[in-house]
Amino acid sequence: MSTPSLETDRAHLMHPLHHPSSYATARVWVSGRGAIIMDAAGRDYIDGLSGLWNVNVGHGRAELGDVAKQQMSTLAFHSAYAGGTNEPAIKLAERLSGLVYPSINTFFFTSGGAEASETSFKTARFYWKALGKPDKIKVISRRRAYHGLTLAAMSATGLQAFWPMFEPRTPGFLHIDAPDPYRFTNTDPSISLGVAAANQLDEAIRREGAETVAAFIAEPVQGAGGVIVPPPDYFARIREICSKHGVLLIADEVITGFGRTGRWFGLEHYGIEPDIMQFAKGITSGYVPLGGIGVSDAVRDVINGVPPGKRWMHAYTYSGHPTCCAVALANIDILEREGLPKRAAASGDRLLRGLRTLESTDGVGNVRGLGLMAAVEVVRDKATKQQFPPEAGLTQKLTDALLDRGLYTRVAMDCICLAPPLVTTDAELDRIVNIVGETIPAVLAAQVEHK
């Protein structure tokens, strides 16, 4: 449906992952309430991805707007560069230290996730240089990881589709396999799949030389790569390997933070603590842009211990933005007051139970999830797990067909990703399952007809 504003969009706006061909299906989003979003044509959709995995408290929370207005009328912005600070940033850092992993009590704020990735990588290098190990610069991540799209973050991102037209990537970034219980092949029957997948890190560090590796970065549950939930023993082995080799463990909690997985932070499921954690998205539920990193007390002590001339020379204008920090505090109030992490655990169980009833459907290769992060992977052949070829364009067809039935979400490599707001009602969750259950056979039937 063409609207005047869409014409203007075509004339003047470039979008994330931009290509003009995407406008055939473009929608102008105009309003939202809870888990529902509405387009300019007046049609309602369930927001199956909370915007972009971030609107954790749901749409239409006027109180977050009130807090932003209050802070903007008092002090919208001032610099938080060394020597200056502001109350909302101080309060937020203090609040986070009580909320995240016990060993992490010190925070730096950014405007989003990719800036957080850059900050983590630079901090890892800084840490080792400050300790007299200037050659520890490499960063290891996983295939199908998503850590953002600035140049170094893109180089850590393990989704190859993002690379070719922007290469060369930043040197010193390498990848191991994702711990995907559906697709990882464990050739050693004496160890579990989780340990086998983690051992690839051990091999990579030995191959590169521990004296050259600064950090390993991992999302507790890989999101944009298709919601990959590692086996329960994966991260304990990862922690052991990082500690043994002197490699910092960076947890990218940009999606998994702030209740998404049914706990406040994703690695709580795995019983380990990272050296650096990064967050964004859910910290403000997307109402204003904010991200950041938290560092362990050990990392903080090294940063604080260098002489002033060797200071941590990293900065963003909007670090510690008072308005964004004030909104984050109010957003965390809502998450706490309404018990949303716990609700995500219960709602996630319901969603996953519902999606698992689709496992016998033709084309449904795998159903997986943790809390309110889930995916249904669509395959051409369930026995061999073979996917449809890219020319089949299944990802776009599934996305469009879900939208036609009133469900907004993203499909990654034929995995239908689902991460609705933590306030999604049981009826809405059941509707998501019904729509996914109707859509897959309909799209696959049309696929056969066109051959």
Ligand X SMILES: Cc1ncc(COP(=O)(O)O)c(C=O)c1O
Query: Is residue 224 close enough to count as binding ligand X by CB under 6 A?
Result: yes
Dist. CA 422–CA 266, nearest whole Å: 15
Nearer CB in complex with ligand X: 147/237: 147
Judged by CB under 6 A, which stretch of 164-172, 252-260, 333-341, 431-439 contacts ligand X? 252-260
Retrieve residue 284's tokens. 């403000």
Residue linked to tokens 């290769």: 365
From 114, 229, 248, 417, residue interacting with ligand X (rule: CB under 6 A) = 114
Q: How far is the CB of 254 from ligand X (least distance, A)?
A: 3
Site for ligand X in 122-141 (CB under 6 A): none
In this chain, which of 48, 88, 112, 363 binds ligand X, going by CB under 6 A? 112
Distinct helix (H) and strand (E) counts, the chain: 13, 15
Considering the complex, what minimum distance in angstroms separates the CB of residue 410 from ligand X? 10
Asked whether position 146 contacts ligand X by CB under 6 A, the answer is yes
Could you identify the residue written with the tokens 């990293």?
A: 314
**What's the rounded Cα separation, in Å, for the pair 271 and 194?**
15
Q: How many CB atoms lie within 10 A of CB 121?
A: 27
Q: What's the DSSP call for residue 290? A: -
Q: Are strands 248-252 and 291-296 parallel, antiparallel or unpaired?
A: unpaired
Residue 147 interacts with ligand X (CB under 6 A): yes or no? yes
Of the pair 115, 202, the CB lying nearest ligand X is at 115
Site for ligand X in 286-315 (CB under 6 A): 291
Binding marks (x or -) toward ligand X, 397..436, rule CB under 6 A?
----------------------------------------
**Pure H helices in 98-210:** 113-130, 151-156, 193-208
Among 280, 283, 370, 423, binds ligand X (CB under 6 A): 280
Q: What are 273's two structure tokens? A: 């603590």
**By the rule CB under 6 A, 148 interacts with ligand X:** yes
Binding status of residue 252 toward ligand X by CB under 6 A: yes
Q: Which of 421, 331, 405, 406 is nearest to 373 (CA)?
A: 421
Alpha-carbon dihedral angle through residues 333, 334, 337, 343, given to the nearest 10 degrees: -130
Q: Are 158 and 141 in contact (CB under 8 A)?
A: yes
> Which residue number is nearest to ligand X in terms of Cβ?
113
Tell me: does residue 113 bind ligand X (CB under 6 A): yes
Residue of the chain from 32, 51, 223, 420 that contacts ligand X (CB under 6 A): 223
Q: Which of 47, 219, 414, 428 binds ligand X (CB under 6 A)?
A: 219
Residues at the site binding ligand X, with contacts judged by CB under 6 A: 112-114, 117, 146-148, 219, 223-224, 252, 254-255, 280, 291
